[in-house]
A and B are shown apart, each in its own frame.
Chain A
Amino acid sequence: MKDSTIFVLHITKTTPDNAMLTSPLGREHLNRGQGGVTKGGVALAEYRLPPSSSRNLAVPGSIATFPPLNRGSHHNACQVEAILDFLLIPYSSTSTITRSSRPSLHILCDSSTIHDAYGALHLSADPSTCLSTELRLRIPFRYHYTCNPPQCLVFQVSNIDLDECISRLYRKELLADSVVEAICSKAKELLMKESNVVHIAAPVTVVGDIHGQFFDMIEIFKIGGPCPDTNYLFLGDYVDRGLFSVETISLLVCLKLRYPSRVHLIRGNHESRGVTQSYGFYTECARKYGDANVWHYFTDMFDFLTLSVVINNEIFCVHGGLSPSIHSIDQIKIIDRFREIPHEGPMADLVWSDPDTERDEFSLSPRGAGYTFGAQVVRKFLEVNSMSHILRAHQLCQEGYQVLYDDRLSTVWSAPNYCYRCGNLASVLEVSDTGERYFNIFDAAPENDAHRMEQLGKHQQNQDGGPSPVIDYFL
Chain B
Amino acid sequence: MTTCASVSPEAKKPNTITINGFRISTQKLPILKADPIEEMTQKLGIAPPEMIFGDNYVAIEHEKGDWGIQFNAFDALDKVDKTGQSMLQVAYSREWQKSREKTHEGIKEVVKPFDWSYSTDYKGTLHPNARPFETSTKAIPMELLKRPDPILFFDEVVLYEDELADNGITMLSCKIRVMPGRLLLLTRFFMRLDHVLIRLRDTRIYVEFETKEVIREYLSKECEYETIREKLASTRDDVPAFMRDANRLSEILPVVEKRTERLVLGE
Binding site for B on A (CB under 8 A): 269-270, 275, 277-280, 282-283, 286, 324-325, 343-345, 352, 356, 359, 361-372, 395-399, 401-403, 407, 410, 418-419, 421-425, 436-443, 464, 469-471, 473-475
CB distance from B173 to the nearest CB of A (A): 10
Which listed residue (A344, A367, A424, A442) contacts B30, Cβ 8 A? A424
CB proximity of A83 to chain B, nearest CB, Å: 20
Q: Please indicate the chain B residues that have their CB under 8 angstroms from the CB of A440 in the complex.
A: 5
Decide: B34 and A399 in contact? CB cutoff 8 A: yes
Given A396-B51, A469-B155, A469-B156, 14 extra CB contacts under 8 A:
A270-B166, A278-B244, A324-B107, A344-B100, A352-B165, A359-B109, A359-B111, A361-B109, A363-B107, A366-B112, A369-B93, A398-B31, A407-B2, A471-B154
> From residue B132, how far is it (CB to closest CB) to chain A in Å?
26
Interface string of B18-55 (1 = CB under 8 A from A): 00000000000111111001000000000000110000
Smallest distance from the beta carbon of B9 to chain A beta carbons, Å? 6
Answer whether A365 and B33 are a contact pair too, CB < 8 Å, given A278-B168, A473-B146: no
Is B253's beta carbon under 8 Å from chain A? no
CB of A366 within 8 A of CB of B5, answer no
Q: Bits for B86-129, please: 1 = Cβ < 8 Å to A, else 0.
A: 01011011011101100110011111111010000000000000
Q: A366-B84, A439-B3, A441-B4 are in contact. Are A474 and B9 (CB under 8 A)?
A: no
* CA of A399 to CA of B7, assembled, Å: 9
Interface residue ranges of B195-245 to A (CB < 8 Å):
238, 240-241, 243-244
Over the window 230-267 of chain B, the binary record of Cβ atoms lying under 8 Å from chain A Cβ atoms (1 yes, 0 no) is 00000000101101100000000000000000000000
Q: Quick check: is B60 within 8 A (CB to CB) of the other chain?
A: no
Residue contact B154 to A469, C-beta cutoff 8 Å:
yes
Min CB gap B199→A, angstroms? 16
Within the complex, the shortest CB–CB distance from B260 to chain A, in Å, comes to 15
Taken together as a complex, chains A and B put the C-alpha atoms of A363 and B111 apart, in Å, by: 6
In contact, B104 and A368 (Cβ under 8 angstroms): no
Query: What residues of chain A lie closer than 8 Å to B32, measured between beta carbons?
Result: 398
Asked if A344 contacts B111 (CB within 8 A), the reply is no
Which B-chain residue is minimally distant from A398 (CB atoms)? B33
Known: A286-B238, A475-B145. A345 touches B1 (CB 8 A): no
CB of B183 within 8 A of chain A?
no
Query: Are the CB atoms of A439 and B5 closer together than 8 Å?
Result: yes
Q: Could you list 5 examples of A-B contacts with CB < 8 Å? A: A324-B104, A395-B50, A399-B34, A439-B2, A475-B184
With a cutoff of 8 Å between Cβ atoms, the chain B residues found around residue A371 in the complex are 107
Q: How far is the CB of B179 from chain A (nearest CB, A)?
A: 9
A471 to B2 Cα, complex, angstroms = 44
The listed residue (B7, B34, B168, B177) touching A443 by CB distance below 8 A is B7
Bound Cα distance from A421 to B2, whole angstroms:
28
Q: How far is the CA of A470 from the CA of B155 in the complex (A)?
A: 8
Nearest A-chain residue to B155, judged by Cβ: A469
Contact of B93 among A368, A399, A421, A422 (CB under 8 A): A368
Which secondary structure dominates where chain A touches chain B? loop
Lowest 8 CB-CB distances: which A-B pairs, in order? A423-B30, A368-B93, A368-B89, A469-B156, A369-B96, A343-B92, A471-B154, A398-B33
By the criterion CB–CB under 8 Å, are A396 and B31 in contact?
Answer: yes
Query: Is B12 at the interface (CB under 8 A from chain A)?
Result: yes
Q: CB distance B110 to A366 under 8 Å?
A: yes
Proximity bits, B158-179, A CB within 8 Å = 1, else 0: 1001011111100000010100
Name the A residues within 8 Å of B243 (CB-CB). Answer: 278
**B177 contact set on A, CB distance < 8 A:** 471, 473-474
- CB neighbours (8 Å) of A364 from chain B are 107-111
In angstroms, Cα B1 to Cα A410, docked, is 12
Check B145 against A473 for contact (C-beta < 8 Å). Answer: yes
Q: Report how far A101 CA is from B6 CA in the complex, Å.
A: 47
In the complex, residue of chain B having the shortest beta-carbon distance to the beta carbon of A353: B165
Q: In angstroms, how far is the closest chain A Cβ from the Cβ of B15?
A: 9
User: How many B residues have CB within 8 A of the partner chain?
Assistant: 67
Which residues does B use to contact A, with CB under 8 Å?
Answer: 1-7, 9-10, 12, 29-34, 37, 50-51, 84, 87, 89-90, 92-93, 95-97, 99-100, 103-104, 107-114, 116, 142, 145-146, 148, 151, 154-156, 158, 161, 163-168, 175, 177, 184, 186, 194, 238, 240-241, 243-244
- Distance in Å from the Cβ of B69 to the closest Cβ of chain A? 18
Pair B107/A437 contact, Cβ less than 8 Å: no
Contacts of A370 in B (CB 8 A): 96, 165
Assembly CA distance A423 to B53 (angstroms) = 9
Q: Are B103 and A324 touching (Cβ within 8 A)? A: yes
Query: In the complex, which residues of chain A have a beta carbon less than 8 angstroms from the beta carbon of B158?
Result: 421
B240 to chain A, nearest CB (A): 5
Question: Which residues of the partner chain A approach B95 to less than 8 Å between Cβ atoms?
Answer: 343-344
A464-B12 contact, Cβ under 8 Å, with A424-B31, A473-B148: yes
- Report the minimum CB–CB distance from A342 to chain B (whole Å): 9
B240 and A278 contact, CB distance less than 8 A: yes
Please name all residues of chain A whose beta carbon is closer than 8 Å to the beta carbon of B97 when the two chains form the complex. 368-369
**A324–B101 Cα gap in the complex (Å)?**
12
C-alpha spacing A277/B229, complex, angstroms: 14
| A137 to B101 alpha-carbon distance, docked (Å) | 47
Q: In whole angstroms, what is the CA distance A279 to B166 when docked?
A: 8
Whether A275 touches B146, Cβ cut-off 8 Å, given contacts A396-B31, A438-B3, A474-B175, is: no
Contacts of B148 in A (CB 8 A): 473
Tell me the complex Cα distance, A422–B28, Å: 10
Chain A residues near B184 (CB-CB < 8 A):
474-475
